[in-house]
Amino acid sequence: MAEFSFQEDLPKRIVIVGGGATGWMAAALLGRCFSSLGVKITVIEPPGKRGIGVGEATIPSILRLLDNLGVEEKDFMLACDATYKLGIQFSDWLQLDRDYWHPFGICGARIDGKDLFHYWFTERSQKRVLRPYHSYSLHWGACLASKSPHLFGGLSPISHTKSYAFHMDAVRLADWLQAYATQRYGVEHLSDTVDGFSPNGRGGIAQLRLVSGRNIPAEMFLDCSGFQSQLIQQFMGVEFIDWSGELLCDRAVAIRTTASRSPAPYTRATAIESGWYWTIPLCSRTGLGYVYSSNHVDDELALAQLRSSAASGDCAQEGNEPLFLKLRVGRLKEFWKGNVIALGLASGFIEPLESTGIHLTQVAIETLLEFLPDRLSNDTIKKVYNHRMASLYDEVKDFVQLHYWLSKREEAFWRDAREAPLSSALVERLELYEDCGWIDGLRSDGFQETSYYHILSGSGRLPRRPSALSLATDPNRTQEVLQQILQQNESMLAQLPLHREMLDWVHTAGPDDGMPSGRLV
């Protein structure tokens, strides 16, 4: 039959080099989608190599991963020591003792299809509203009150819109994905190390040579080797675009601390002298990590600053050894060359200020699933894939850099970070915003206008004038909508259980209890 011939043209084997969360996410999604079509998936993972288990924060696209894998939220949370996440608090970023927030979801409600920001700003400019923009966000209220995204019965607005995420242990995530891929879909796992390759004569790889002496042929290879970029750079020679002149942080040190008695349903990013540190609450512990510039502080002092910050908080240290990381900031010029596609750290790195690491990997894999070539495919697929991924990385980089540009801190690092050159795309976006409040030209899989409004307004950066459309709206109607939002948020917050209560339920529920909200029962 005709569909049989199409199936026969698909790759017979896809080899993934490197495990971790990136490699096993790719294996799990590829296995679920294509194992029934006869595509063999092989993961080659160096023996004894483990990922970093200091805590990983995510954004709401992680829910799409669970949907695509067909797994229950409860099972995922139990496996990954997960807590819920409703947004990010940026402490001391603008200046000392001045915070702003980036809550998930829409802020309040849209008016005539437009973001609430325009109408809030019109009222603010007329001094008819004093409350900050983020205070109309249900997610922000839930963060402050330490509430769960779910109700114990029925769907909350947060559950319904799938506008929440998780904090989790990345090593446990990788282990869970590995078990899923190998046990459900028969993904082959080779504990071995790649030390060479044979070209296929068409600008790609025919087979990989392993330390054990084996040769592993395939039609497609995924490079999940981390910063090493073994296949895409060492074998294929793809150029790396360095962003260290725009994002100055090139080091990180991470430690584990004891669990909080009441884990916050948000990530905290706290600015200090030469960078910032994350606080990521898991069920069994809290992860802390300092992202800093080696041109402004050495490793020893950075660790001392992080330990001092941890001691001043509500988390006692576990006494574990710190983990130091050298960060390669930037992205590949080509994510897909020949028959090699780079994923995760092998393709690029943007500091985890907005928790985008897993998101970038997930979008790359999802795009590959859409574009998976057969033997007759032309180079247009690669061209479009490379453009999509490059523009996504560029846009995320711009959004992260915006936080530094808005800061008014006066330490040397912060002055240098503020003066780093902005991309022409970000300059144009800011010029439009500052003239009339609009944010334009965003990708659907990147940060949306509401996110920009939270960061810009939270930093005190407001347009010079309201938009004409919001000026034309009856102010009495706007005031009525604003009051309704506050009342509805207050009512819902009274109904939402505490984050701790929901975590206790999730982590003690029986295997057949399901989620109380109906989310992935």
Treating both helix axes as pointing N-terminal to C-terminal, what angle do 380-406 and 357-371 enclose, rounded to 10 degrees? Answer: 160
- 214 and 334 co-located in one domain: yes
- 321 and 175 co-located in one domain: no
- 177 and 319 co-located in one domain: no
3 state SS of 381: helix
- 262 and 386 co-located in one domain: no
- 320 and 227 co-located in one domain: no
Query: Three-state SS across 90-149?
Result: EEEEEECCEEEEEECCCCCCCECCECHHHHHHHHHHCCCCCCCHHHHCHHHHHHHCCECC
* Rounded CA separation 104/363 (Å): 18
Q: What is the pLDDT of residues 261-273, one digit of tens each?
A: 899 999 999 999 9
What is the residue range of 213's domain? 9-55+169-244+329-393
Q: Is residue 24 part of a domain?
A: yes
Q: Is residue 319 part of a domain?
A: yes
- 239 and 333 co-located in one domain: yes
Q: For the chain, how are helix, strand and coil distributed in percent, rounded to 5?
A: 40, 20, 35
Decide the pairing of beta strands 40-45 and 13-17.
Answer: parallel
Q: Is residue 66 part of a domain?
A: no
Q: What is the arrangement of strands in the sheet containing 330-332, beginning at the earlier edge strand?
A: 240-242, 330-332, 348-349
Task: Compute CA distances 95 → 88, 91, 208, 271, 402, whole Å.
Answer: 17, 9, 52, 9, 15
Closest CA to 276 of 165, 169, 402, 413: 413
- 176 and 240 co-located in one domain: yes
Q: Supply the pLDDT for residue 519.
A: 45
Q: Is residue 94 part of a domain?
A: no
3 state SS of 334: coil
pLDDT, average across residues 127-141: 98
* Rounded CA separation 207/185 (Å): 23
Last residue of a domain, one of 297, 326, 355: 326
Last residue of a domain, one of 326, 349, 383: 326
- 255 and 268 co-located in one domain: yes
- 239 and 341 co-located in one domain: yes
Residue 311 has pLDDT above 90, yes or no: no
- 322 and 334 co-located in one domain: no
Q: Is residue 347 part of a domain?
A: yes
Q: What is the pLDDT of residues 176-227, one digit of tens each?
A: 999 999 999 999 999 999 999 999 999 999 999 999 999 999 999 999 999 9
Decide the pairing of beta strands 188-191 and 285-292.
Answer: unpaired
Q: What is the CATH number of the domain that holds 276?
A: 3.30.9.100
Q: Supply the pLDDT for residue 50.
A: 65
3 state SS of 242: strand
- 183 and 310 co-located in one domain: no
Q: Is residue 82 part of a domain?
A: no
Q: Is residue 412 part of a domain?
A: no
Residue 314 has pLDDT above 70, yes or no: no
**Which residue has tokens 């001691």?**
311
Q: Is residue 356 part of a domain?
A: yes
* Rounded CA separation 28/76 (Å): 14
pTM beyond 0.85: yes
Domain count along the chain: 2
- 338 and 368 co-located in one domain: yes
3 state SS of 290: strand
Instruction: Name the burial class of residue 472, with classes exposed (0-12), middle (13-18) and buried (19+) by CB atoms within 10 angstroms of its CB.
Output: exposed
Last residue of a domain, one of 326, 341, 367: 326
pLDDT, average across residues 253-257: 92
pLDDT, average across residues 484-491: 98
